Chain A
Amino acid sequence: AQKVTQAQTEISVVEKEDVTLDCVYETRDTTYYLFWYKQPPSGELVFLIRRNSFDEQNEISGRYSWNFQKSTSSFNFTITASQVVDSAVYFCALRVYNQGGKLIFGQGTELSVKP
């Protein structure tokens, strides 16, 4: 069975702090994709990153970085120097070959960045 676990339900930080959002996934498939989405209060899910199971390179995009480790089935997301605009719910998702178009989402982590 496929599953995504985001153990942190809520995180609160003060602006300029670094914060890491954890994501652990389960699948027996060898080919899969992992995603992170951001959901601000407006409701729209904003795509942040896609990573396939054969590419374990970490990625950095501005203040965002992602650490993909197959050995621990984790795909963690770090925001450096957080800002108030980063406040949102962040979802990690998994997509495997035999599930068609289905994205399997974690329960989300609500990040609150206070000024």
Chain B
Amino acid sequence: ETGVTQTPRHLVMGMTNKKSLKCEQHLGHNAMYWYKQSAKKPLELMFVYSLEERVENNSVPSRFSPECPNSSHLFLHLHTLQPEDSALYLCASSQTPILADTQYFGPGTRLTVL
């Protein structure tokens, strides 16, 4: 595997379900990110992790819970979501979270909340 991978690629869940999105990066990076891409809206940063520590939380509702067990893996745990949470969730990684480092993205998980 190369680059940034995400599983599952598609997920349909009810509002009472609990599910998790997984991201894995094979680039040896130390920073990882979750973004949300909704229809007709710009990509929004949700969380930033650097060396497994959360460094930014962009006012995201608590029904989204991130976890970064090591620098290669990032999870987004979902519970009691709303239909408006349906979106493409993109994971990214960069060498560090500093300004100059380029973020490389995974293919995303298309989430539908019924």
Contact = CB atoms under 8 A, between A and B. Distances in A.
Contacts of B102: 35, 47, 50
Contacts of A102: 45, 48, 56, 58
Interface in A68-115: 91, 95-97, 100-108
B88 to A, nearest CB: 6
Contacts of B114: none
Chain B contact residues (Cβ within 8 angstroms of A): what range? 20 to 34
Contact of B104 (A47, A104, A107): A47
Interface centre among A31, A95, A96, A103 (most CB of B within 10 A): A103
Interface residues of A, number: 27
Interface centre among A45, A96, A104, A106 (most CB of B within 10 A): A45
B41 A107 contact: yes
Contacts, number: 62
Contacts of A45: 90, 92, 105
A38 to B, nearest CB: 10
A105 B43 contact: yes
Contacts of A96: 99
Contacts of A64: none
B5 to A, nearest CB: 10
B99 A31 contact: yes
Contacts of A35: 102
Interface string A1-42: 000100000000000000000000000000111010100001
Interface of A: 4, 31-33, 35, 37, 42-47, 50, 52, 91, 95-97, 100-108
Shortest Cβ-Cβ A-B pairs, 4 listed = A45-B105, A101-B97, A44-B107, A101-B48
Given A47-B102, A50-B100, 7 more contacts: A43-B107, A45-B92, A50-B102, A91-B43, A95-B99, A100-B97, A105-B42
